[in-house]
A and B are shown apart, each in its own frame.
Chain A
Amino acid sequence: MLFFSYFKELVGKEVTVELKNDLAIRGTLHSVDQYLNIKLENIKVVDEGKYPHMLSVRNCFIRGSVVRYVQLPPDGVDVDILHDATRREARGS
């Protein structure tokens, strides 16, 4: 639940999603769901020369199970709020 809520706060920010097949996609976070599936808008593939496979795609849905990393803007992180939420989550379980 914590990461789902955290990503909901990041909707509208630009993120780069690195997938488990090494493909990296940069785009604006449009939405996220309980499985941490991610929808990105106005995407740009990092290293487009190597990966022209998505040249005609503007918006995409990325399955949560295939995400390796989500690279966030440094100012998108409120560390104190995250700390509090993590403590609450740890206490709960």
Chain B
Amino acid sequence: MSTGPGLESLVNQTISIITNDGRIIVGTLRGFDQATNIILDESHERVYSTREGVQQLALGLYIIRGDNISVVGELDEELDLVNDLSKIKAHPLTPVIH
């Protein structure tokens, strides 16, 4: 029984999670399981809007339930420094419809 692509390689890295309701939550991956439940440390939500730049809301230590997770992205620190979040304007992501 192969376990395939785990999130093993991302533990203790900074990751960006897209949730099913369209939120972006950035933090340090501490743990995960087969259901993709995730433990996220030092997390903050990045709120995108069309009127002002990106807002960051501090959240702390979170457990995010796997069935609410769409994407787990490996945040490249260098790329993140290059992008000026205060200048980015966009519509918030649409929620997942099954």
Contact = CB atoms under 8 A, between A and B. Distances in A.
Interface of A: 19-23, 25, 30-34, 37-39, 43, 50-63, 65-66
Contact of A61 (B22, B71, B83, B91): B71
B5 A31 contact: yes
Interface string B66-94: 11011111111001100100001011011
Given A20-B98, A34-B1, 8 more contacts: A21-B97, A31-B4, A51-B93, A52-B88, A54-B71, A60-B73, A61-B72, A66-B20
A30 B5 contact: yes
What DSSP secondary structure best describes chain A's contact surface? mixed
A25 B24 CA distance: 16
Interface in B49-68: 66-67
Interface of B: 1-7, 10, 16, 18, 20, 22, 24, 36, 46, 48, 66-67, 69-76, 79-80, 83, 88, 90-91, 93-98
A58 B79 contact: yes
A30 B7 CA distance: 13
Contacts of B79: 55-58
Contact of A52 (B4, B90, B98): B90
Contacts of A38: 5
B96 A32 contact: no
B24 A53 contact: yes
Given A56-B16, A57-B75, A66-B20, A22 B94 contact: yes
Nearest to B94: A21
Nearest to A30: B5
A54 B73 contact: yes
Given A20-B96, A52-B90, A63-B36, A33 B73 contact: no
Contacts of B69: 63
